[in-house]
Amino acid sequence: MRSCLVIVCVLWLMGVRAQETQVQYLSGKGNDDMVQWDFLCTGGMNANKWTKIGVPSCWELQGFGKYNYGFAKDSLKGKEKGLYKYIFQVPKDWKNKKINIVFEGVMTDAEVKVNGIVAGSIHQGAFYAFKYDISKLIHIEKPNILEVTVAKHSADKSVNAAEREGDFWIFGGIFRPVWLEALPAINISQIQIDAKADGTFKALVHTNSKDKIELNIFDQGNKKIQQSSNFSQKNIDDSTCRISTQVTNPKLWSSEFPNLYRAEISIVKDGEVIHSVCKKFGFRTIELKQRDGIYVNGVKIKFKGINRHSFRPETGRTMSKQNSIEDVLLIKEMNMNAVRMSHYPPDDHFLDVCDSLGLYVMDELAGWHGMYNTPIGSKLLKEMIDHDENHPSIIFWSNGNEGGHNLALDPLFFFFYLQKRPVVHPWQLFNGIETQHYRQYNYGVGNYDNGREIVMPTEFLHGQFDGGHGAGLEDYWNKMWNDPLHAGGFLWDFADQAVVRKDLHDSLDTDKSRGADGIVGPHHEKEGSFFAVKEIWSPVYFEKKEITSEFDQTFTIENRYHFTNIKSCSFTWKLSKFELSGLENVFGTAIAPDIAPLQKGKLQLALPQNWLDYDILYVTAKDQYGLELFTWSFPISSPKKLADRLVNNSEENKVTLDSIENDYKVKVKDVTVWIDIRNGLLKKVVNSKGLVPLSNGPIVQ
């Protein structure tokens, strides 16, 4: 048995105090530290025998059950169940406390028993955290038996329609962490925070007490910026109070400056702190201005976004915090500033990383093409918002996807919640935002020129069907950037979904062409579009420039940041000369010009007098954190000049050309190339080491 005791405010440790919520993990925290539970699977691989399984996990990736993609016929779908058992003990000092068992995510229906007694009604819905109060079921001074029965295929048709019939792999299991939380008898059950860019701080505090509430606010350096006495408190009812205060000149949260604060909210009785809860938050204001745009902190934003699944080939939907850090860093490396949670809410640690590293988030209630019915959808929507609402990175709520919108749920996004984030219906015109998917460029131009609503496709440039994400993006983006009604968009999608098949000798499977939609490969291999997107979406934009002998060593650049001055960046240059013996390089730096956000200016280089003797000029821009935005290359020498200097016309380098049936065969030394006479496509390349994997291109879309 493994017992790991942590504190809810682990990211802001201030010492262990008895009045804080205590947490004991029953599982691991992710795919990198699973805990072994007893397990039996009722169908598919390794069925009908008790053994062990790591928790959290998707059971298919652990060698159990049946793989199926969402498009599979009903007869091919895995409908097995998983039976879990785990024995645990709790600390003696948990006596007389309220004890909840919390599941971060279970696919799909879950019945929970503690010591043989059902903890509550069966939970239906895979991607939502839920909890049961098991205070009366648990033994304090002897072992407890936890039993969980999980059905991969839900008993509710609407849950299957929303979650299990989409264009993605379908898994089963307790795939996110499980833990116990112990609270004092008098406690805070929930905190809802709304902190605006003007320094206004409001919170709804849900308690089971009318005692005094105390508030302290700390910055990222753990400096207290708001004293406990300087705020107002108003009891709304027996279980909810509203507190508010004003913070002077707070550092604002945005994707470029993700400044975070910590609110410590406590119940105080007779001068003693009874229960204390910590929440991270950010000061920022979101505004949807009809027929204008989407504003963050008073600035109209262009979203450079990507759709992302929670996915790894070896672990399916079971992730780790390290996975989340890797994903966010890779997304930001492409100069993106936004991510859509397609098509379900993500792990909590992914939102934590978006908060701390800076990404705008569209958080989505599941509903691929089908939708939840209203009773289940209402419950799951509340679970999603209760779990995620304090994350400053979340800019939008999304009610389903491509027709999976239960319209009865729309009002509930605002019901009892302080933050009134915009709600979108992907692929619909809703709430003044036109989000249609995969519009053709010419049709889109007509819409941009003649439409009156904000345009923000929540999916565009499909990675598989549109020739790669970089194909055509520059044309789209030039229109998007320069159109005042365009708010940007979200590419489809981040990474190829190739799952490890335990039933097929650990081979990678994308279900034919269905899962291979990514900018990066299944293990985040960078493909060509990665670098195209990185250049096109660079916040430092170089106007087109051809280097001639009249070059005055200046570039016109545009600052496409929303909040960052270009003077915060750094610039270096490199001149290279190609020689048969290698490269000859010379390096230098350039002073970053003072260019305000969304303005243009000049970048001045100081090249040596003989710069024309070199063949190419490289200019590299790095952001305020020292991370490369992009390296641009500018040819100096003409191809003829290079060829005259470098090409050896000796007999051994002679090029031969033959026509063989429908092909041209071109050969020089040990390299042979076949080109299709009928269409000009490259068919095959062979060198001394064998076949080169380069063929069937280039293709003009």
pLDDT on residue 527: 87
The answer to whether residues 54 and 78 touch, using CB atoms and an 8 Å cutoff, is no
pLDDT on residue 5: 38
The answer to whether residues 286 and 294 touch, using CB atoms and an 8 Å cutoff, is yes
Question: Is 447 a residue whose pLDDT tops 90?
Answer: no
Domain contains 77 = yes
pLDDT on residue 8: 37
pLDDT on residue 466: 64
Q: What is the identity of the amino acid at 605?
A: L
Question: Is 164 a residue whose pLDDT tops 70?
Answer: yes
* Between 114 and 688, residue with greater pLDDT: 114
Domain contains 297 = no
Beta strand segments in 298-417, E: 299-300, 303-308, 338-341, 360-365, 394-399
Tens digit of pLDDT for each residue in 554-594? 999 999 999 999 999 999 999 999 998 889 999 999 999 99
pLDDT on residue 646: 85
Query: Do 200 and 250 fall within a single domain?
Result: yes
pLDDT on residue 18: 46
Domain contains 342 = yes
SS3 112: strand
pLDDT on residue 16: 41
Tens digit of pLDDT for each residue in 518-532? 999 999 999 889 999
Query: Do 122 and 194 fall within a single domain?
Result: no
Task: List all residues 6 or more positions away from 500 whose beta carbon is below 8 Å from its beta carbon.
Answer: 61, 313, 314, 506, 507, 508, 509
Question: Is 14 a residue whose pLDDT tops 70?
Answer: no
Tens digit of pLDDT for each residue in 273-290? 999 999 999 999 999 999
Query: Do 362 and 256 fall within a single domain?
Result: no
Query: Do 672 and 590 fall within a single domain?
Result: no
pLDDT on residue 580: 83
Question: Is 7 a residue whose pLDDT tops 90?
Answer: no
Tens digit of pLDDT for each residue in 224-271? 997 666 778 888 888 899 999 999 999 999 999 999 999 999 999 988
Domain contains 82 = yes
Task: List all residues 6 or more positions away from 94 whose beta carbon is below 8 Å from its beta carbon.
Answer: 22, 140, 182
Find the domain containing 219 and state its range: 188-281
Task: List all residues 6 or more positions away from 689 whose beta carbon is below 8 Å from its beta carbon.
Answer: none
Mean pLDDT calculated for residue range 694-698: 75
CATH number at residue 149: 2.60.120.260
C-alpha closest to that of 386 among 421, 347, 416: 416
From residue 320, give the alpha-carbon distance in Å to each of 200, 529, 553: 34, 26, 47
pLDDT on residue 700: 60
Tens digit of pLDDT for each residue in 325-334? 999 999 999 9
Domain contains 529 = no
C-alpha closest to that of 485 among 289, 254, 286: 289
Question: Is 13 a residue whose pLDDT tops 50?
Answer: no
CATH number at residue 348: 3.20.20.80
SS3 584: strand
pLDDT on residue 4: 40
Measure the CA–CA gap between 613 and 94, rounded to whole angstroms. Answer: 77
Domain contains 533 = no
Query: Do 461 and 381 fall within a single domain?
Result: yes
Kindly state the percentage of the chain with pLDDT values over 90. Answer: 79
Beta strand segments in 405-487, E: 423-424, 429-430, 433-434, 454-455, 460-462
Confidence of residue 694 (pLDDT cuts 50, 70, 90): confident
Query: Do 62 and 147 fall within a single domain?
Result: yes
Question: Is 158 a residue whose pLDDT tops 90?
Answer: yes
Tens digit of pLDDT for each residue in 362-403? 999 999 999 999 999 999 999 999 999 999 999 999 999 998
How large is the greatest C-alpha to C-alpha distance in the chain, in angstroms? Answer: 98
Kindly state the percentage of the chain with pLDDT values over 70. Answer: 95
Query: Do 177 and 193 fall within a single domain?
Result: no
Query: Do 124 and 232 fall within a single domain?
Result: no
Measure the CA–CA gap between 264 and 9, rounded to whole angstroms. Answer: 9
Query: Do 471 and 573 fall within a single domain?
Result: no
CATH number at residue 573: 2.60.40.10
Order of all β-strands in the sheet with 299-300: 286-289, 293-296, 299-300
Written as six digits, the tokens of 100 are: 């909840």
Question: Is 358 a residue whose pLDDT tops 60?
Answer: yes
Mean pLDDT calculated for residue range 347-360: 99
SS3 563: coil
Alpha helices (H) in 537-659, listed in sequence order: 639-646
The answer to whether residues 241 and 215 touch, using CB atoms and an 8 Å cutoff, is no
DSSP 231-296: SEEEE-SSSEEEEEEE-SSPPBB-SSSB--EEEEEEEEETTEEEEEEEEEE-B--EEEETTTEEEE
Mean pLDDT calculated for residue range 482-508: 95
Tens digit of pLDDT for each residue in 106-127? 999 999 999 999 999 999 999 9
Query: Do 29 and 103 fall within a single domain?
Result: yes
Tens digit of pLDDT for each residue in 35-82? 999 999 999 999 999 999 999 999 999 999 999 999 888 888 899 999
pLDDT on residue 12: 37
Query: Do 315 and 259 fall within a single domain?
Result: no
The whole-chain average pLDDT of the chain stands at: 93
Confidence of residue 647 (pLDDT cuts 50, 70, 90): confident
When divided into structural domains, the chain yields a total of 5
Helix 348-357 crosses helix 321-333 at what angle (to 10 degrees)?
40
* 106-107 and 144-151 strand pairing: unpaired
Query: Do 338 and 483 fall within a single domain?
Result: yes
C-alpha closest to that of 68 among 59, 77, 80: 77
